[in-house]
């Protein structure tokens, strides 16, 4: 059993809110927002939402010199095409990458582990130690080098040269549990990065038990 990739989209702009149309296919159990913000000033206005449901932040906002990064997620998102709405009170330039994933039948998704960092160096990377095989791992990288990375370790979502910096994200549906490193190939500059790993968990089942003539539902 393992997560599988569902869909992706990328939108950039300064609108408040910035809307990212995303289509979660049948069976989607996880939606992730990988967000890069231009400059060191952080976005204001609150949590992004999908179809009116607030998303949950992974780690905290990571601030580099030329960009800052956020990651947000939602389990069991609405199936169909809806907007990820990203508040942007300051009218900052946002680079928003959405991606969705499907857990195996009978399972849903939950955050397992995450990590984040900033630095001034070449080839930024982050490592997590996952608890199960089949996890969906997703990252976000804002990098201050003036061209996009030339390589990445896993499946590319988007990697875009934004002029003086770049916005980037990749994913992997893992085939083993343990130490997993996400990396990018790019010359030395300032960077921010967040990595989240999402495991499969059983969907609770309702079990029927009879007591005399009454029917009692017990949620397990």
Backbone angles phi, psi at 28, to 5 degrees: -65, 135
Backbone angles phi, psi at 209, to 5 degrees: -135, 140
Q: Whole domain around residue 121: which residue ranges?
A: 4-219
Backbone angles phi, psi at 163, to 5 degrees: 105, -90
Per-residue confidence (pLDDT) for residue 205, from 0 to 100: 72
Q: What's the chain's length in residues?
A: 220
Q: How many domains does the chain have?
A: 1
CB-CB contact of 70 with 64 (8 Å): no
In 3-state terms the chain splits into helix, strand, coil percentages (rounded to 5) of 0, 60, 40
- This prediction has a pTM of 0.93
Tokens coding 98: 């959405």
Per-residue confidence (pLDDT) for residue 206, from 0 to 100: 54
Per-residue confidence (pLDDT) for residue 72, from 0 to 100: 99
Per-residue pLDDT tens listing for the chain (220 residues): 899 999 999 999 999 999 999 999 999 999 999 999 999 999 999 999 999 999 999 999 999 999 999 999 999 999 999 999 999 999 999 999 999 999 999 999 999 999 999 999 999 999 999 999 999 999 999 999 999 999 999 999 999 999 999 999 999 999 999 999 999 999 999 999 999 999 999 998 753 344 444 444 434 3
**Cα angle value 169/1/205 (rounded, 5°):** 110
């Amino acid at each position: 059993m393992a997560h599988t990739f569902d869909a992706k989209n990328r939108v950039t702009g300064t609108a408040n809110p910035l809307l990212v149309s995303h289509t979660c296919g049948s069976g989607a159990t996880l939606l992730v927002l990988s967000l890069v913000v231009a400059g060191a000033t952080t976005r204001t206005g609150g949590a992004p939402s999908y179809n009116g449901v607030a998303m949950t932040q992974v780690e905290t906002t990571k601030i580099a010199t030329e960009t800052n990064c956020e990651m947000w997620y939602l389990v069991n998102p609405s199936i169909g095409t809806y907007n990820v709405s990203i508040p942007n009170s300051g009218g900052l330039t946002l680079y928003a990458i959405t991606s969705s994933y499907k857990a195996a039948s009978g399972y849903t998704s939950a955050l397992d582990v995450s990590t984040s960092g900033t630095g001034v160096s070449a080839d930024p990377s982050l490592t997590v130690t996952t608890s199960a095989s089949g996890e969906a791992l997703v990252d976000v990288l804002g990098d201050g080098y003036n061209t996009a990375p030339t390589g990445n370790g896993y499946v590319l979502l988007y990697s875009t040269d934004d002029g003086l910096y770049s916005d980037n994200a990749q994913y992997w549906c893992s085939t083993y549990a343990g130490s997993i490193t996400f990396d990018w190939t790019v010359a030395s500059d300032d960077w921010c990065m967040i990595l989240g790993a999402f495991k499969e968990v059983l969907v609770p089942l309702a079990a029927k038990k009879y007591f005399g003539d009454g029917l009692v539902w017990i949620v397990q």
